[in-house]
Chains A and B, each alone.
Chain A
Amino acid sequence: MDWKGYTLIYVVLFVFATIQAVVEFVGLVDSAYWLAFGIIMVLSVVKAVGVAAYYQHLISEPRSVTYMILGGTLGAIALTGAAAYSIV
C-alpha cells in the first residue's frame, strides 16, 4: 500500500473515533444506552480490524497469522463472556 492508501485509512479511523464521541455528546448513551453501546463497540471493532489489516499488513500475511491472533482474541472473549455469564 502507498501513502495515499494509508492516508485514506487514517481519515476513516479518525472519523470513526469522532463518531464514537459524538454518540455520547448527543446524549444517546443516556437515552438509549445499549444502542449506543452497540454502535460504539462495532465502530471499535471496525477500527481495530482496519489497523490490523492495513497498518499491520495482516491482509498480506499468510492467513495463519490472522488465525493465531484470532485464537488469542477468542480465548479472551471466552474468558470474559463465560465469566460474566456465570454471575448473571
Chain B
Amino acid sequence: MPTTSSLQIGADDLAFPRLNALSYWLYLFSGILVGVSFFQGSTFAGGWTMYAPLNTPAYIPGEGLGATSVVLALIMFTAAVTMGSVNFLTTMYRMRAEGLRMRDIPIFSLSINLTVWMMLFAFAALLAALMILASDHVIGTTYFQFANDGSTLGTSAENPGASLLWAHLFWFFGHPEVYIVFFPALGAMAEIFQTFTGRRLVGRKWFIISMVLVAIQSFIVWMHHMFLTGINLPIKTIFMATTIGISLPFDLMVFSLIYTMAKGRVRFKTPFLFSLGALLLFILGGITGVFLGAIVLDYQFRGTYWVVAHFHYVMFGGATALIGGLYYWYPKMTGKMYDEFLGKVHFATFFVGFNLLYFPMFIAWETPRRVFEYPADLQIWHNLSTVGGFILGASMLVMFYNLFVSIWRGEDAGESPWKYASTAEWAVGSPPKLENFPGLPSYASGSLEFLDDEEVAERTGKPPGAGVAADGGTASDGGTARNIRAVTAPATPTAAAHETGGEGHASHASFWPFLVSLGGFIAFLGLSGVRTGSPVYVGMAAVGGLATVGSLVGMTRESFHAPEMAIAERWPFEGVEKMKLGMWTFLASDVVLFGGFIGSYAFVRVAYGWSDWHHDLIPAEHVTMPGLINTYLLLTSSFLVVLAMVAAKREWRGATTASLAGTFALGVGFLVNKGIEWNHLFHIHSEMFPNGWTLSTNIGSSTFYLTTGLHGAHVVVGLVICGYMTIRAWNGAYQGDDKPIEYFGLYWHFVDIVWLFLFPLFYIL
C-alpha cells in the first residue's frame, strides 16, 4: 500500500521513515504476542467481536492470562495502525509531485487516502475500547462487567450499560473497518478498469465524491449491527435510513465502472477478469446487504447463512479485486510477467468455486450460523458449498504456482507491460529502485517529468547539496501553494548518499524502532499476568517498560535525517510543515481516543441514571477543589509554553529555559496534587464506602480513575518531553527557532484542553 501509493503520488519515501519502521515492528510483535497467548493456558475465545461481559476476566475460564495478552496485543496493533495513518496522511499531503492536485491523484491512491482517514478515526475508537478492556483485565476497573459473585476481579457494581457500551465502541470502529478493508480493493478495481478498457473512469469526479461520502457515512451506520440489542426503535430507524443511504453512493460507483466498460475497449487480461468478477460479486453482496439493513428483515436474517453469504460476497469480493491487483502490479513488483494462461485458469476455477461455495448459502439461508445441525432438505446446498470450497481452495494453488515460478521463468516486464496504464509507477523500472524516481517528479507541464538537480536548484534558488530540512521540520515553510524548501535530494542519488543518509535517499537503518517494539512486547506480556502477582510477570512488565522508555530516549537522541521534497504539491496543508502536520493528525486521532473515554463515561452514566449517579456512586469526599487547583496548574503551564516560544524567538535563553522549567514544575505539581487526591479517596472510610473508593468500587470510581488516569498518563509523556527540552534549552537550543517548542506545545495544550472537559464532568457535574 505505501509503496504503490508513494510511487503514484510521486514521493520517493514516506514522510516519517523511522515511524514507518516502528509501525511495522509493533505490528509484528503484536502478532507474536497473540501467538504467545496460546501458551498461557488458553487464548482469547470470545469471538472476533469480543462482546462484553464475556471479554472480561470474571467470565473467562481459568486465569484468562492469554485473553489479556490478546487484548494488549490488539492495543499494540492499533498503535501501529495509528502511527501508519499519521505517516501516510502526512506523506500524501506533503509529498505529492508538483502539479498533482488531490483530485488528480490516481484513483487507487485516492482510495488509500480515504481508507487511511477512516483508519485514523475508527481505530482511535477501537483503541479506547481496548484500553478500557485492558484496564478491566489488568487493574480491575468494572466497565464491562455485570454484577457477579465469586469472580476474581468483578465487584457487586451495578453497571447496566456494560454490554451495550462495548457494542457501541466496537461497532463505531467495526463498520468503518468494513470500508477500510474494502476501499483499497475498490481503488484497485477502478484502476484496473481504466487500464484494461483504455478509458478514463466515466464520471470520475462523481466516483470520487461517492467514495468521500461513503467514508463519512461509514461513521453513522454502526448501530445496524445492534438491531437485536435493547437500543430503542427511533435510533434503529435512523440507522436503518443511514444504512440504506450508504448504498446510494456505492450504486453510483458501480454504474461508473459499468459505463467505463461500455465506453472503452475491454481487454480480458487476468487482472481485469478478477476486477470484473469482483464487481459482479460485490453487486450481489451489496444488494443482499440492503436486506440486512432493514430492521424487520434483519430480525429474520440475522444469525443465518444469509449473513454468511452476504458477508463473503462483499468482503471476499473485495479480496477478489485485490487478487486482480496482485496480478496487475506483479510485473512492477518483480520485473517479470506471470503466465497469462494460468492466470485465466485461476480466474475460471476461482469464480466457479466462489459462487458454488457461497451462492447456495443464500438458498439455504435458514441454516443457523455456528450451529452444526440444519434441516435435512438443505443438505444438497451444503454439499454443493463443500465442493465449491475445495475448488476455490485449489484455484489458489494455481496462482501460487504461477506467481512463484514466474519469478524465474517469466518474461521481462520492462517498465510497463500494460498499454494504457497511465499512473506514475509505470514510468519507472520494474521493480522500482529504492529512491523510486530518477529525479524529482513534476506534473507542472501537464505530463510527468523528472527534474534534475540543476533544475531544482534553479527553481529553489539554492545550490545543489545546500542541505535539506530535517525530520524534525526545523525549517519553516513559505506558506505558498508550492512550497520550496531548502534544497531537494539529488536527481540521481549515489551509493554514498544511501550509506551516509546524506542529501540523497536517507538511510533508514535504525535499531531503535525494533528495540522499542521488543520492549513493548516484553512489557505487555508482563502486564498480562501482573494480576497474579507472579514475580516473573511483574519483572517482565518492569524490564519491558524500562526497555521501551530507554529505547524511545535512544531513538530521540539518534541523528536521523528524512529530507522533504524541495518542490511539491501540498494542498490543503500548505505552510503546515511536515512535523507539525504529523502532530496535528495524531491529535485528531487522540481527540477520538479521549472522545471514546468521555463518551463511555457519559454512556454508562446515562444507563445508570444521570442524576442518581452522583448520589449513589460518588463519595462526599470527592470535592471540587483538587480539580480546580489542577485546572489552574495546567492553564498556567500552557501559558508558560507560549511564553517559552516568545522567549525562544527573541533568543532569550534564560527566559526560554525558565518557562520550560516552569511548565515542567507545574506538570509535576499537577501529578502530585492528583496523587494526594487519589490516595485520600482510596482510603476514605465512610458509611457508603467503608473500604475506600478504589478502581473496583463501582462504575463511578472506575470511570473517574481511568479517564483522569489516561489524562495523567498524557501529562507524564508531556513531562518527559518537557524535561528533555528544558535541558536542551539550558544548553542553548531553540534560540531563534521556536518550532520544536511549538510542536511540544500542540501536544501540551491538547492535554490542557482535555482537562478543561474532565474537570467539570468529573468534579462538578
Interface residues, chain A, CB within 8 Å of chain B?
A: 1-3, 6-7, 9-10, 13-14, 17-18, 20-21, 23-25, 29, 33, 36-37, 40-41, 44, 47-48, 51-52, 55-57, 61-65, 68-69, 71-73, 75-80, 82-88
CB-CB under 8 A for A79 and B765, given A62-B575, A68-B584: no
CB-CB under 8 A for A17 and B753, given A79-B596, A80-B602, A83-B168: no
When the two chains form the complex, which single residue of A7, A13, A61 contacts B576, counting CB atoms closer than 8 Å? A61
Q: Tell me whether B220 and A78 are in contact (CB under 8 A).
A: yes
Q: Tell me whether B760 and A84 are in contact (CB under 8 A).
A: no
Answer yes or no: B757 CB below 8 A from chain A CBs: yes
Q: Tell me whether B643 and A3 are in contact (CB under 8 A).
A: yes
Q: Tell me whether B639 and A23 are in contact (CB under 8 A).
A: no
Q: Tell me whether B602 and A84 are in contact (CB under 8 A).
A: yes
Answer yes or no: B574 CB below 8 A from chain A CBs: yes
The number of inter-chain residue pairs (CB within 8 angstroms) is: 170
CB-CB under 8 A for A29 and B765, given A76-B595, A87-B230: yes
Interface of B is mostly: helix
Which of A36, A40, A57, A86 gathers most chain B CB within 10 Å?
A: A86
Interface of A is mostly: helix
- Determine the residue in chain A with the shortest Cβ distance to B230: A87
A63 to B584, CA, bound (A): 12
Q: Tell me whether A80 and B639 are in contact (CB under 8 A).
A: no
Within 8 A of A (CB), among B566-593: 572-576, 581, 584-585, 587-592
A-B complex: 8 closest residue pairs judged by Cβ atoms: A76-B595, A80-B599, A72-B591, A64-B572, A86-B231, A72-B588, A10-B639, A83-B168
16 A-B contacts, Cβ less than 8 Å apart? A17-B631, A17-B756, A37-B765, A52-B753, A55-B641, A55-B745, A56-B746, A62-B572, A65-B584, A72-B590, A75-B595, A76-B599, A77-B595, A79-B172, A80-B598, A86-B235
Answer yes or no: B59 CB below 8 A from chain A CBs: no
When the two chains form the complex, which single residue of A13, A37, A79 contacts B125, counting CB atoms closer than 8 Å? A79
- Least CB distance, A32 to chain B, in whole angstroms: 13
Answer yes or no: B759 CB below 8 A from chain A CBs: yes
CB-CB under 8 A for A55 and B749, given A48-B757, A82-B223: yes
* Of B133-141, B539-547, B603-611, the one with at least 4 CB within 8 A of chain A: B603-611
Answer yes or no: B161 CB below 8 A from chain A CBs: yes
Q: Tell me whether B606 and A87 are in contact (CB under 8 A).
A: yes
Q: Which residues of A contact B121 (CB under 8 A)?
A: 71-72, 75
Apart from A40-B765, A82-B238, what 7 extra A-B contacts exist at CB < 8 Å?
Answer: A7-B639, A13-B635, A72-B590, A76-B591, A82-B235, A83-B172, A87-B232
Q: Which residues of A contact B750 (CB under 8 A)?
A: 56
Q: Tell me whether B643 and A84 are in contact (CB under 8 A).
A: no
Answer yes or no: B298 CB below 8 A from chain A CBs: no
Answer yes or no: B638 CB below 8 A from chain A CBs: yes
Q: Which residues of B contact A44 (CB under 8 A)?
A: 756-757, 759-760
A18 to B635, CA, bound (A): 12
A13 to B635, CA, bound (A): 7
A84 to B641, CA, bound (A): 37
CB-CB under 8 A for A80 and B230, given A6-B642, A14-B632, A21-B764: no
- Least CB distance, A83 to chain B, in whole angstroms: 4
Answer yes or no: B752 CB below 8 A from chain A CBs: yes
Q: Which residues of A contact B581 (CB under 8 A)?
A: 65
A17 to B638, CA, bound (A): 14
- Determine the residue in chain B with the shortest Cβ distance to A11: B639
Answer yes or no: B219 CB below 8 A from chain A CBs: yes
- Determine the residue in chain A with the shortest Cβ distance to B638: A55
Q: How large is the interface on B (under 10, 10 to 19, 20 to 34, 35 or more residues)?
A: 35 or more
A78 to B219, CA, bound (A): 8
Q: Tell me whether A20 and B760 are in contact (CB under 8 A).
A: yes
CB-CB under 8 A for A2 and B592, given A80-B598, A87-B607: no
A29 to B605, CA, bound (A): 17
Q: Tell me whether B752 and A51 are in contact (CB under 8 A).
A: yes
- Least CB distance, B400 to chain A, in whole angstroms: 40
- Least CB distance, A84 to chain B, in whole angstroms: 5
Q: Which residues of A contact B598 (CB under 8 A)?
A: 76, 80
A25 to B635, CA, bound (A): 21
A40 to B758, CA, bound (A): 12
Q: Which residues of A contact B238 (CB under 8 A)?
A: 82
- Encoded as 1 (CB less than 8 Å from any A CB) or 0, chain B from 603 to 621 comes to 1001100010000000000
CB-CB under 8 A for A40 and B595, given A14-B635, A64-B572, A87-B231: no
Q: Tell me whether B636 and A10 are in contact (CB under 8 A).
A: yes
CB-CB under 8 A for A41 and B573, given A13-B635, A17-B628, A86-B231: no
When the two chains form the complex, which single residue of B223, B607, B759 contacts A17, counting CB atoms closer than 8 Å? B759
When the two chains form the complex, which single residue of B575, B587, B638, B639 contacts A69, counting CB atoms closer than 8 Å? B587
A13 to B595, CA, bound (A): 22
Answer yes or no: B183 CB below 8 A from chain A CBs: no
- Encoded as 1 (CB less than 8 Å from any A CB) or 0, chain B from 726 to 743 comes to 000000000000000010
Q: Which residues of A contact B757 (CB under 8 A)?
A: 44, 48
Q: Tell me whether A87 and B643 are in contact (CB under 8 A).
A: no
Which of A6, A9, A55, A84 gathers most chain B CB within 10 Å?
A: A55
Q: Tell me whether A79 and B628 are in contact (CB under 8 A).
A: no
Within 8 A of A (CB), among B625-649: 628, 631-632, 635-636, 638-639, 641-643, 646
A47 to B226, CA, bound (A): 36
A78 to B602, CA, bound (A): 12
Q: Tell me whether B759 and A20 are in contact (CB under 8 A).
A: yes
- Least CB distance, B496 to chain A, in whole angstroms: 38
- Least CB distance, B602 to chain A, in whole angstroms: 5
A19 to B592, CA, bound (A): 28
A41 to B121, CA, bound (A): 24
Q: Tell me whether B574 and A62 are in contact (CB under 8 A).
A: yes
A33 to B612, CA, bound (A): 12
Q: Which residues of A contact B572 (CB under 8 A)?
A: 62-64
- Encoded as 1 (CB less than 8 Å from any A CB) or 0, chain B from 174 to 190 comes to 00000000000000000
A80 to B600, CA, bound (A): 7
Q: Which residues of B contact A72 (CB under 8 A)?
A: 121, 124, 587-592, 595
Answer yes or no: B686 CB below 8 A from chain A CBs: no
Answer yes or no: B164 CB below 8 A from chain A CBs: yes
- Determine the residue in chain B with the shortest Cβ distance to A29: B764
Answer yes or no: B594 CB below 8 A from chain A CBs: yes
A44 to B581, CA, bound (A): 26
A45 to B624, CA, bound (A): 19
Q: Tell me whether A17 and B646 are in contact (CB under 8 A).
A: no
Q: Tell me whether B588 and A68 are in contact (CB under 8 A).
A: yes
- Determine the residue in chain B with the shortest Cβ distance to A66: B584
A62 to B742, CA, bound (A): 16
- Encoded as 1 (CB less than 8 Å from any A CB) or 0, chain B from 72 to 87 comes to 0000000000000000
A3 to B584, CA, bound (A): 24
Q: Which residues of B contact A63 (CB under 8 A)?
A: 572
A75 to B124, CA, bound (A): 10
Q: Which residues of A contact B606 (CB under 8 A)?
A: 84, 87-88
Q: Which residues of B contact A47 (CB under 8 A)?
A: 753, 756
Which of B589, B636, B643, B760 gathers most chain A CB within 10 Å?
A: B760
Q: Tell me whether A76 and B628 are in contact (CB under 8 A).
A: no
Q: Which residues of B contact A51 (CB under 8 A)?
A: 638, 749, 752-753, 756
Q: Tell me whether B172 and A40 are in contact (CB under 8 A).
A: no
Q: Which residues of B contact A69 (CB under 8 A)?
A: 584, 587-588, 591
- Least CB distance, B750 to chain A, in whole angstroms: 7
A52 to B749, CA, bound (A): 7
Q: Tell me whether A17 and B635 are in contact (CB under 8 A).
A: yes
- Determine the residue in chain B with the shortest Cβ distance to A68: B588
- Least CB distance, A77 to chain B, in whole angstroms: 7
